[in-house]
Amino acid sequence: MSVKVHIHTTHRQITNGLEVVEVEGKTVGECLNQLIRQFPEMEKALFTRKDKLLNNVEVYLNHASAYPNELLKPVKDEDEIHLLVMLAGG
Amino acid sequence: MSVYPKVNDHSPFSLRREYISEDGGSMLTPNEQERYDRQIMIGEIGQEGQETLKRSRVAIAGAGGLGSPIAIYLTAAGIGMIRMIDHDQVTLSNLNRQILHWGEDIGRNKVESAGTKLRNLNSAVKIETIAETITEGNVSQLVDGCDVIVDAMDNLPTRYVLNRCAVEKKLPFFHGAVNGFEGRVMTIIPGETACLRCMYRGQVPQEKFPVIGVTPAVIGSIQATEVIKYLVGIGNLLTNRLLIYDGLKVTLTEFSVNKNPNCDHCGSLRRKE
């Protein structure tokens, strides 16, 4: 079972430049936990505390918003998670 | 099966017809006919669409990186009235991206600088300028009389002020934002589609953002396209669709978003029957 996590540009310095990281898990939260196990610095890039995403982080599952309760959303083999960062500039 | 041109569900033609009766018609002048000849040739716009644009009133919140291309293209396209709202003055560090402002404008109010350029670009368009900070207290008055609001802000709190106002007044709201080589666009039809607040999780710290001028050029141009499409009543809008532009990879990626029934801005509005 493999899920692709698409890493936002601002986080790729943490993933050694990787744009996509393959993980395993039954929920979005489990997948992100495995992402963090591979790249520990992703934890503070995504979470304020355990199970609490930063306010500016957006999670999309198969190109659809996973909001609300993003971390609880179930995933299946070959699903794709996109991690975006809210933009404020103009 | 031909679906060309496709009229979207949000066509404001009924609104436009009311304006026609109030104005007693708004035929294009010979000068305007020539100026807009190439876009009148576009089947989806045509004579009627051009006249609709002439009768339209657009509020652009922000006269900076996004506001510049939005205002330039809507002015060139022949919108009847454009209201530029921005409290800021032009600084040297604005000039890498805010193409309405030039070296000679440093220190001027941005809306004055913008007004000068836009009136020179197209004197047939009425350009209104308001040099005020947008707040919850004045936003309703600032956009009063406008058909749509365009988001060209540089911060999230003011975007939410505009979003709430758009929802309350049921005015279409055209969101855009940029950072570096990345940008995003979404169109909001209050009461019908997801609004900017529908995925709100809490305050985000305000930070100085990096940006290169070509990014707001792309995003602002898409926002202006959305405004034109909405006003004329053509095409498919970016409603419930967040479009992400990555200038480094030159990709456009679309994500679907849903109206949140518990949204503190639009949750109480019901969909049209």
- Domain ranges for chain B: 13-256
B67 has a chain A CB within 8 A of its CB: yes
- Residue ranges and CATH numbers for the domains of chain A are 3-85 (3.10.20.30)
Sequential DSSP letters for B120-184: HH-TTSEEEEE-----TTTHHHHTTT-SEEEE--SSHHHHHHHHHHHHHHT--EEEEEEEBTEEE
Q: What is the mean pLDDT of residues B172-178?
A: 98
Beta bridge partners of B262: none
**What is the predicted pLDDT for the residue at A49?**
86
d(CA A26, CA A65): 18
**What is the predicted pLDDT for the residue at B268?**
72
pLDDT tens, residue by residue, B216-268: 999 999 999 999 999 999 999 999 999 999 999 999 999 999 999 999 999 97
In CATH, B13-256 is 3.40.50.720: yes
Q: Which residues contact B265 (CB under 8 A, 6 or more apart)?
A: B160, B163, B164, B167, B195, B196, B197, B198
d(CA B3, CA A22): 41
pLDDT exceeding 90 applies to what percent of chain A?
Answer: 96
Q: What is the mean pLDDT of residues B206-214?
A: 95
B151: nearest CA partner in chain A: A90
Q: Which residues contact B145 (CB under 8 A, 6 or more apart)?
A: B57
CB B146 within 8 A of CB B59: yes
Q: What is the mean pLDDT of residues A68-87?
A: 97
* pLDDT at residue B158 greater than cutoff 90: yes
Tokens of A16: 């050694």
Beta bridge partners of B109: B89
Place of tokens 């005015």: B171
How many angstroms separate the CA of residue A34 from the nearest CA in chain B? Answer: 24
d(CA A7, CA B163): 29
Closest by Cβ to B178, choosing from A56, A64, A89: A89
Q: Which pLDDT band, with edges at 50, 70 and 90, does B37 fall under?
A: very high
Q: What is the mean pLDDT of residues B66-90?
A: 98
d(CA A42, CA A15): 8
How many angstroms separate the CA of residue A80 from the nearest CA in chain B? Answer: 12
Interface A-B: count of C-beta contacts within 8 A: 80
d(CA B190, CA A5): 32
A74 has a chain B CB within 8 A of its CB: no
Please give the mean pLDDT across all residues of chain B. Answer: 91
* pLDDT at residue B87 greater than cutoff 70: yes
ipTM above 0.85, yes or no: yes
* pLDDT at residue A73 greater than cutoff 90: yes
Beta bridge partners of B241: B256
Tokens of B253: 């990626």
**What is the predicted pLDDT for the residue at B205?**
87
**What is the predicted pLDDT for the residue at B2?**
30
Q: What is the mean pLDDT of residues B63-82?
A: 98
Tokens of B172: 């279409």
d(CA B204, CA B200): 10
* pLDDT at residue B17 greater than cutoff 60: no
**What is the predicted pLDDT for the residue at B38?**
98
Sequential DSSP letters for A23-76: E--SBHHHHHHHHHHHSTTHHHHHEEETTEE-TTEEEEETTEE--SSGGG-B--
